[in-house]
Amino acid sequence: MSLSAAEQGQTEQSTLLPKQLDSRKPLISKKAGALLLGIAAVVGLSTFFFSTEIHKPASSSGLVEGKNGAVAVEAEQCSNVGIEILKKGGNAVDSAIASALCIGVIDSFATGIGGGGFMLIRSPNGTYDFIDFRETAPGASHKDMFVEDPSKAQVGGLSVGVPGEIRGFQLAHERHGKLPWEELFTPAIDMSRNGFNTTRLLAQRLQSAKEWIMQDATFSAVFAPNGQLAMEGQLIKRPSLADTLEIIAKQGPDAFYEGLIAASIVNTTVNNGGILTMEDMKNYQAVVRPPISTYYHGRKIVTGGTPTSGHVLISALNILERFNLRLLGEVGLNVHRLVEALKYGFAFRTELGDPDYVDNADRLEEIISKDWASLARANISDDHTHEPTFYNPKFDNSEAHGTMHLSVVDENDGAVALTSTVNLLFGARIMDPVTGIILNDEMDDFSIPGIPNAFGLQPSVYNYVYPGKRSLSSCVPTIIERDSKFEMAVGASGGSMIITATLGVILDVVDYGKNIFDAIVAPRLHHQLMPNTAILEDGFSKQYIDALQSRGHDIVVLPKSMKITAVQAVMRSPDGTVYGASDIRKYGQAAVY
């Protein structure tokens, strides 16, 4: 694609980006084994690859259509909970809270009240709140606490951050809720007390964690009550969690952070080697932060700022906009351009962190500006890719893990995009036996000072552990407007691949004209700069693969049973019809009315 003289001139004068490399081809002819080793860290340390036997359907049977509202959660039962809340007169925030509490019971391996997250809220009048309820580091934390044994950031009491979900829901409800707080808890309480059928996804996750679950008395009592792990369809009851949810519903959020529930969480954490205190629990606050936004082909794209990775999403969209992908359509060149935009985006991500601890607001504004995007775009060659250092990352990328996402729109076009997590599979692998709460291992999302990576880059100082700090997240809850009206709420679960999956769905809808279900089930690719490998789901044509390889990209194509992330989206069309779509990769099913 030709570039304007103005863009070329800006590139020559830029001090923000590296100069264009010479035209020589990068050294990319690596053996397949080396490629697999290059992504071993990604595959081995995270839960964003889904093993599933589901394949792409031939039709859009998963696209549901209604007139009023839509809810998309990764479990059909919880999508239905959200719809019932809307039918009772609740709004999108009420629905999102009830749906999230529901999925926290069913998919407790990924989310729940022992974790935290982010909620992007669009009011019917078009104003936005971005609520940060990310977990915080305990007061006794310090940046070197995991240097000697990084595994303690993943499993055990030391990995537990202060849970934020309940305070986040409290803040959202106080600012936007319509129905009584207690009413939003009723479905999750009933489900916990009376039981729910084990979903296919939960059964798979239990099998993957079988070895340690069967050795843990608290976990096995819940998930293997008869001495064997629960199978798909088997009834699971969680009476302790039901009691906990009922107390929070009746007594309010303070019961979680200052009462017997907090004391039990602290006691269990400390007994497992942790440093969480009652003071940490009492001092936790969710925060309302300003969202960030851009315009992409006339649509307003709104997402969260730091400590999410919204800046990566916005910068990639800004870079891609002037390429005008829709002109050529879904061709190999555009796939290459997408990968290049992602490589720049993930280079920027190394400069992100908790805005209360990182003073680089000017830099963050710079990297989501259209001017900056023009400079980056001018450095993208249509002929070849480059090694990671070309994209000027300041530090090594921190890795991210699990999560859950849900999207909601109500009849008044109030909307919510909510992403929450306990981080790795079943979080810290600690379930408080008194409250039934599974605790997060969010401390693993901080960077640990130490050995530089293969490219000589140190872990990011912006994401080091400090008392009260929130770790960098890959979440990008996003809401899109068209002509100042709500169009879509979208987001994903699945660690660092959240960013690429959400971006891919947006491009498929806006540039390639797909409906949200077809966009969600389309094959996905991922590139996070380091390792310098493009990861593709099965289903990409040989044309795409050849186009990437001919431009120097190292590629790994996943087997059919492996999928990248799961996306949930809702949408309203110009004629007022509302649509919902959940990702088949997590066996999801949206609901509408």
Half-sphere exposure of 278 (CA within 13 A, CB side): 9
Q: Is 15's pLDDT higher than 60?
A: no
324 with 258, same domain: the answer is: no
403 is catalytic: yes
Q: How confident is the model at residue 38 (pLDDT cuts 50, 70, 90)?
A: very low
pLDDT tens digits, 256-301: 999 999 999 999 999 999 999 999 999 999 999 999 999 999 999 9
Which residue of the set 244, 268, 350, 403 is catalytic? 403
Q: Is 455's pLDDT higher than 90?
A: no
What is the reported pLDDT for 403? 86
Average pLDDT over residues 159-175: 99
C-alpha–C-alpha distance, residues 79 and 71, integer Å: 5
CATH code of the domain covering residue 300 = 3.60.20.40
Are 486 and 569 in contact by the 8 Å Cβ rule? The answer is: no
44 CB burial (10 A radius; 0-12, 13-18, 19+) = exposed
307 with 345, same domain: the answer is: yes
86 with 194, same domain: the answer is: yes
Q: Is 101's pLDDT higher than 60?
A: yes
175 with 151, same domain: the answer is: yes
74 with 215, same domain: the answer is: yes
Range of 457's domain?
64-114+133-284+410-463
pLDDT tens digits, 301-360: 999 999 999 999 999 999 999 999 999 999 999 999 999 999 999 999 999 999 999 999
Average pLDDT over residues 513-540: 96
168 with 182, same domain: the answer is: yes
* Domain total of the chain: 2
Binding-site residues: 134, 421-423, 445, 473-474, 495
Binding-site residues for L-glutamate: 134, 421-423, 445, 473-474, 495
What is the reported pLDDT for 458? 87
What is the reported pLDDT for 41? 39
308 with 253, same domain: the answer is: no
Q: Is 56's pLDDT higher than 50?
A: no
104 with 215, same domain: the answer is: yes
Is-cis flag, bond preceding 531, omega within 30? yes
Q: What is the CA radius of gyration of the chain?
A: 23
455 with 557, same domain: the answer is: no
C-alpha dist (Å) from residue 226 to 107, 202, 231, 431, 569: 20, 17, 11, 19, 38
C-alpha–C-alpha distance, residues 584 and 55, integer Å: 8
Are 131 and 118 in contact by the 8 Å Cβ rule? The answer is: yes
> pLDDT over 70 for what percent of the chain?
88
148 with 196, same domain: the answer is: yes
Q: Is 65's pLDDT higher than 90?
A: yes
Q: What is the DSSP string of 67-86?
A: SS-EEE-SSHHHHHHHHHHH
Mean pLDDT of the chain: 90
